[in-house]
């Protein structure tokens, strides 16, 4: 995984990708690791089917590029969505502030 894992906090899991077995440590538990394994295996096989004749190494690199592209696209979408919500909340707070100021009749809080 991308983070450094303290072995005291992690469990070890065997995963198989493209017929190769790996032993990895994770703090996220077996259901998470099995989902990671499934995603990698599905993506690898999808790419292998689309680019016949490539070496396993090239397919692995194309898999990594594909998943990195998806990750960056999702991160950008989350940033944009977060910005939209931040703007909405700010507008609602300003509106509430105006209503409270007008509501007390003094023009001041």
Question: pLDDT tens digit string along 54-80?
Answer: 999 999 999 999 999 999 999 999 888
Query: What single-letter DSSP state applies at residue 11?
Result: E
Please report whether residue 82 resides in a domain.
yes
What does the block give as tokens for 101? Answer: 């100021």
Please report whether residue 19 resides in a domain.
yes
Compare 82 and 64 and report the one with higher pLDDT.
64
Q: Per-residue confidence at 82, pLDDT binned at 50, 70, 90?
A: confident
Q: What is the pTM of this model?
A: 0.67
pLDDT at 99: 87
Please report whether residue 6 resides in a domain.
no
Phi then psi for 5, rounded to 5 degrees? -115, 125
pLDDT at 106: 58
1: three-class secondary structure by DSSP: coil
Please report whether residue 76 resides in a domain.
yes
Q: Are 109 and 103 in contact (CB under 8 A)?
A: no
The rounded distance, in Å, linking the Cα atoms of 4 and 9 is 11
Count of structural domains within the chain: 1
Show the domain range for 98.
Answer: 11-103
The rounded distance, in Å, linking the Cα atoms of 34 and 60 is 18
Please report whether residue 5 resides in a domain.
no
Question: pLDDT tens digit string along 1-42?
Answer: 445 556 678 999 999 999 999 999 999 999 999 999 999 999
Please report whether residue 45 resides in a domain.
yes
Residue ranges of E strands in the chain: 11-17, 20-26
Please report whether residue 94 resides in a domain.
yes
Please report whether residue 26 resides in a domain.
yes
């Amino acid at each position: 995984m991308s983070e450094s894992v303290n072995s005291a906090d992690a469990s070890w899991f065997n995963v198989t990708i493209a017929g190769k077995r790996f032993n990895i440590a994770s703090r996220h538990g077996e259901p998470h690791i099995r989902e990671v394994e499934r995603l990698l295996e599905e993506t690898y096989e999808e790419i292998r089917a689309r680019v016949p004749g490539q070496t396993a190494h090239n397919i692995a690199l194309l898999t990594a590029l594909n998943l990195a592209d998806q990750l960056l696209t999702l991160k950008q979408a989350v940033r944009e969505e977060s910005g939209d919500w931040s703007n909405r909340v700010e507008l609602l707070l300003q509106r509430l502030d105006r209503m409270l100021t007008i509501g007390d009749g003094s023009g001041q809080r």
